[in-house]
């Protein structure tokens, strides 16, 4: 698995830290699009998903923002209290389930840390010359991250302790056919948005981090190449693709970053740990193929049609 | 001293017919001259080494596509047709069309065509070989490399049957038009409008079949993943970039097999070679030889700086023959691992239809492998000059049934 190094850790609001991540060699990171998230795996073994909220024109760094969740499962506490500049984290993805669709007009609605995937969308909307506005709510002004990055003339900031709940109905009005509403935040906010926006004009993402389904492992696993009968051990230093190639399998790859799909390989047995950007969720769940340039094993043993 | 003084200079015109039809000597000179070379004939820069070409293709932030991927700079010269939403676009404009098309043309989505294309290839090769069991002479370009993609791909897109003769000349002109306004462009200019009008008419929702890549693109527009204005241009990309490229990729496979009979044996006997065969041909022949980028900023490369706003020729064909990266690059060799070749480009503009091309090639080659023991030249192959593509006009072949 590729590993990133934390190059900066900044408090960006009460209870929110932003991590800047880079490759250890400072090289180019995989491309991403607004709305994308990455899976980060910490020393504790926990894997969490975070929206990328940095600048895609900077090819060498990612930025994510992490809210301290006292009632969470420990991922955010680890980031806030343990993780330090210079530490390594494992990377999966980036993948995008929340892409920005083209439209003349966007209405962005953010609740708290849900602002993160919207930041790159706003950057895109500005480049695209689209009409856009943002309605951004949070508990208190001091808990709301990135206010300084949002142009005031497009942004309505609503701290709950000052102004109460977001005035969704009046702010959204009735979105016309040229408008797409993007919303990200806690479930009650998304439900309130859905109550006033027709489904075909609305795109939402639930920002609560979900655990990645496959158990991610750092310890070695074995891969059996069915066509040659060779079994090999793959440790963290090698991709499955490279290990198979060194064992004499005929492989074909191109990007080797999990984006192009060229190395797709049939999985005959075992459970892959998907780390690519190509397969859809139902294809991942089927477990019958994988992209060995980045994906690994969740089970102790994989059998591949190589 | 200006950057142009620092870069080595070549006075060769890479778009002269004698270079287009025999590019390897110029490519070697270009690579040896430096990582980046100033081409005085067109006042542009060129990269011919694998490492730099691959890095620059990946670096969309500094090497943009929206100013055109041909010699012409869209910022100073209006394009001859509305720019492609994929090829001639940068993020974020590029994002949605790419996302939609990548899903429609992905390897898993193509499974529904696999059996049909394999069956069509069997039928096609059987008809060509007849029942006599005797060797058959064909023009490999017309009878196989052109005929088979034209048999399956337009149906998969879902376009009308009438008028498909426009497809190849449209592509031929389009790929010429990425180069300078030379005699190749002039020769095609009169007919180009008619071809383009026909192609554009095929992209409308009401003219496309209910099933196929075209219908899938319009379905994406219905979901809001594209705008209704974008949908026809995305269909156009399939018809622009999806025909000639595959045709000439197949031409290079057939030429490779005819000139390397041991490799055909290898292909027929060892199914593992099939995975790499088409990509090795795409590396070896590099049917798409060149695309351009435009420097967004001053870009330092080695000892040189490519100035902001300059056009840079990415010589894919040269990178695929760079001995700094490839062992014996001029050999067509199925035992080579061609992974990482730049024949489909690289980075976020890498050919979105590459899986379609591979499937077409797999289908045709599998049908041939089961039926043809030997493919041999039956005459001198004839080259055709094109400003972008390295192509055969005709490949006389003798097919020996097994």
Q: How far apart are CA B399 and CA B402, in angstroms?
A: 9
Structural domain contains residue A17 = yes
Q: Which two tokens stand for residue A230?
A: 């060779």
pLDDT tens-digit readout, B304-347: 999 999 999 999 999 999 999 999 999 999 999 999 999 999 99
What's the pLDDT at A210?
A: 45
User: Which domain does B346 fall in, by range?
Assistant: 3-401
What's the pLDDT at A216?
A: 64
Half-sphere exposure of B304 (CA within 13 A, CB side): 21
Of A31, A250, A278, the CB nearest to B106: A278
B397 forms beta bridges with B138, B377
Structural domain contains residue A168 = yes
User: DSSP per residue over B83-107, as a string?
Assistant: PPSSTT--TTTTHHHHHHHHHHTST
Q: With an 8 Å Cβ cutoff, are A289 and B108 in contact?
A: yes
Mean pLDDT estimate for chain B: 96
Q: Which two tokens stand for residue B206?
A: 């009401």
A200 neighbourhood in chain B, CB within 8 Å: 224
pLDDT tens-digit readout, B48-101: 999 999 999 999 999 999 999 999 999 999 998 999 999 999 999 999 999 999
What's the pLDDT at B5?
A: 54
User: Which domain does A18 fall in, by range?
Assistant: 3-95
Across the range B229-248, mean pLDDT stands at 96
- Do residues A19 and A63 lie in contact, with contact meaning Cβ atoms separated by under 8 Å? yes
B338 touches A at CB < 8 Å: yes
User: DSSP per residue over B298-335, as a string?
Assistant: -EEETTEEEPTT-EEEEEHHHHTT-TTTSSSTTS--TT
Structural domain contains residue A188 = yes
Structural domain contains residue A100 = no
pTM exceeds cut of 0.90: yes
Q: How confident is the model at residue B272 (pLDDT cuts 50, 70, 90)?
A: confident
- Do residues A106 and A115 lie in contact, with contact meaning Cβ atoms separated by under 8 Å? no
* Element housing B266 (H / E): helix B261-269
A25 touches B at CB < 8 Å: no
Q: How far apart are CA B213 and CA B232, in angstroms?
A: 12
- What contacts A150, CB < 8 A, 6 or more positions away? A122, A134, A136, A157
Residue where a domain stops, chosen among A176, A206, A236: A206
Structural domain contains residue A213 = no
How many angstroms away from the CA of B296 is the closest CA of chain A? Answer: 12
What's the pLDDT at B4?
A: 47
| CA-CA-CA-CA torsion sign (A27, A32, A35, A40) | negative
Exposed/middle/buried for B4, CB within 10 Å: 0-12, 13-18, 19+? middle
What's the pLDDT at B369?
A: 98
A59 touches B at CB < 8 Å: yes
What's the pLDDT at A209?
A: 45
What's the pLDDT at A237?
A: 86
User: Strand A47-51's sheet: what is its strand order?
Assistant: A47-51, A36-41, A88-96, A3-13, A16-22, A62-67
Q: How confident is the model at residue B394 (pLDDT cuts 50, 70, 90)?
A: very high
Domain containing residue A236: CATH number? 3.10.20.30
What's the pLDDT at A212?
A: 46
pLDDT tens-digit readout, B167-188: 999 999 999 999 999 999 999 9
- Do residues B49 and B313 lie in contact, with contact meaning Cβ atoms separated by under 8 Å? no
Structural domains of chain A, count:
3
Structural domains of chain B, count:
1
What's the pLDDT at A222?
A: 95
B2 pLDDT more than 60: no
The ipTM (two decimal places) reads 0.92
Residue where a domain stops, chosen among A38, A61, A95: A95
B302 pLDDT more than 90: no
pLDDT tens-digit readout, B122-165: 999 999 999 989 999 999 999 999 999 999 999 999 999 999 99
What's the pLDDT at A1?
A: 53
Domain containing residue B111: CATH number? 1.10.630.10
What count of other Cβ atoms lies within 10 Å of the Cβ of residue B189? 14
- What contacts A129, CB < 8 A, 6 or more positions away? none
What's the pLDDT at B3?
A: 45
A220 touches B at CB < 8 Å: no
Residue where a domain stops, chosen among A174, A206, A238: A206
Kindly report whether the peptide bond that precedes residue A182 is cis, defined as omega within 30 degrees of 0.
no
Structural domain contains residue A273 = yes
Mutate to test the interface with B, among A27, A32, A33 (most CBs of B within 10 A): A33
- 3-class DSSP assignment, residue A137: strand
What's the pLDDT at A255?
A: 85
Domain containing residue A190: CATH number? 3.40.50.80
Q: With an 8 Å Cβ cutoff, are A101 and B276 in contact?
A: no
Mean pLDDT in consecutive groups of 10 residues from the start of chain A, 306 residues = 90 98 96 95 85 98 95 87 96 92 97 97 97 98 98 97 96 93 94 93 73 63 92 92 92 86 92 86 87 92 94
B269 neighbourhood in chain A, CB within 8 Å: none
**DSSP state letter for A31:** P
């Amino acid at each position: 698995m590729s590993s990133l190094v934390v190059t900066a850790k900044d408090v960006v609001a009460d209870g929110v830290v932003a991590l800047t991540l880079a490759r250890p060699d400072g090289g180019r990171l995989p491309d991403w699009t607004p709305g994308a998230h990455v899976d980060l795996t910490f020393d504790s073994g926990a894997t969490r998903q975070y929206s990328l909220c940095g600048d895609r024109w900077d090819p060498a760094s990612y930025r994510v923002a992490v809210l301290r969740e006292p009632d969470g499962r420990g991922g955010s506490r680890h980031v806030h209290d343990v993780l330090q500049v210079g530490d390594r984290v494992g990377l999966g993805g980036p993948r995008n389930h929340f892409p920005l669709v083209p439209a003349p007009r966007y209405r962005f609605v953010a609740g708290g840390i849900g602002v993160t995937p919207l930041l790159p969308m706003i950057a895109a909307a500005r480049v695209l010359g689209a009409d856009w506005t943002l309605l951004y709510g949070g508990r208190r002004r001091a808990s709301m991250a990135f206010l300084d990055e949002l142009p005031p003339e497009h942004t309505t900031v609503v701290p709950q302790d000052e102004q109460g709940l977001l005035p969704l109905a009046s702010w959204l009005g009735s979105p016309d056919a040229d408008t797409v509403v993007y919303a990200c935040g806690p479930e009650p906010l998304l439900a309130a948005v859905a109550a006033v926006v027709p489904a075909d004009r609305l795109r939402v993402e639930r920002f609560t981090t979900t655990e990645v389904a496959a158990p991610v492992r750092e310890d070695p696993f074995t891969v059996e190449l069915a066509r040659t009968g060779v079994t090999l051990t793959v440790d963290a230093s090698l991709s499955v693709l490279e290990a198979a190639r060194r064992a004499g399998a005929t492989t074909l790859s191109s990007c080797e970053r999990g984006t192009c799909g060229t190395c797709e390989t049939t999985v005959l047995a075992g459970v892959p740990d998907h780390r690519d950007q190509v397969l859809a969720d139902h294809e991942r769940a089927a477990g019958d193929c994988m992209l060995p340039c980045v994906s690994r094993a969740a089970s102790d043993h994989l059998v591949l049609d190589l | 001293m200006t950057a142009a003084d620092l870069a080595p200079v070549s006075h060769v015109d890479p778009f002269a017919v004698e270079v287009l039809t025999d590019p390897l000597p110029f490519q070697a000179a270009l690579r040896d001259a430096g990582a980046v070379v100033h081409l005085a004939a067109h006042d542009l820069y060129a990269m011919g080494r694998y490492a730099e070409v691959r890095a620059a293709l990946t670096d969309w932030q500094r090497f943009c596509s929206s100013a055109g991927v041909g010699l012409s700079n869209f910022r100073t010269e209006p394009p001859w047709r509305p720019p492609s939403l994929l090829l001639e676009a940068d993020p974020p404009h590029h994002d949605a069309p790419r996302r939609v098309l990548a899903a429609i043309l992905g390897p898993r989505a193509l499974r529904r065509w696999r059996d049909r294309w394999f069956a069509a290839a069997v039928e096609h090769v059987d008809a060509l070989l007849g029942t006599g069991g005797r060797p058959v002479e064909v023009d490999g370009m017309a009878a196989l490399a052109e005929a088979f993609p034209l048999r399956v791909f337009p149906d998969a897109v879902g376009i009308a049957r009438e008028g498909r003769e426009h497809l190849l000349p449209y592509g031929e002109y389009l790929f010429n038009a990425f180069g300078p306004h030379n005699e190749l462009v002039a020769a095609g200019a009169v007919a180009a409008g008619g071809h383009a009008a026909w192609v554009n008419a095929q992209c409308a929702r009401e003219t496309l079949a209910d099933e196929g890549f075209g219908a899938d693109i319009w379905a994406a527009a219905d979901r809001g993943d594209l705008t209704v204005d974008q949908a026809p241009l995305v269909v156009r990309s399939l018809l622009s970039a999806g025909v000639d490229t595959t045709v000439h990729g197949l031409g290079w496979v057939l030429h490779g097999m005819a000139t390397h009979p041991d490799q055909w044996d290898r292909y027929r006997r060892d199914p593992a070679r099939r995975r790499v065969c088409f990509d090795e041909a795409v590396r070896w022949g590099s049917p798409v030889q060149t695309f351009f980028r435009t420097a967004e900023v001053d870009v330092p490369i080695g000892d040189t700086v490519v100035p902001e706003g300059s056009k840079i020729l990415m010589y894919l064909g040269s990178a695929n023959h760079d001995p700094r990266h490839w062992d014996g690059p001029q050999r067509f060799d199925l035992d080579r691992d061609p992974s990482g070749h730049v024949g489909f480009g690289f980075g976020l503009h890498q050919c979105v239809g590459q899986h379609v091309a591979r499937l077409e090639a797999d289908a045709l080659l599998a049908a041939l492998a089961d039926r043809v023991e030997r493919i041999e030249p039956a005459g001198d192959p004839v080259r055709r000059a094109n400003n972008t593509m390295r192509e055969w006009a005709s490949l006389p072949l003798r097919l020996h049934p097994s």
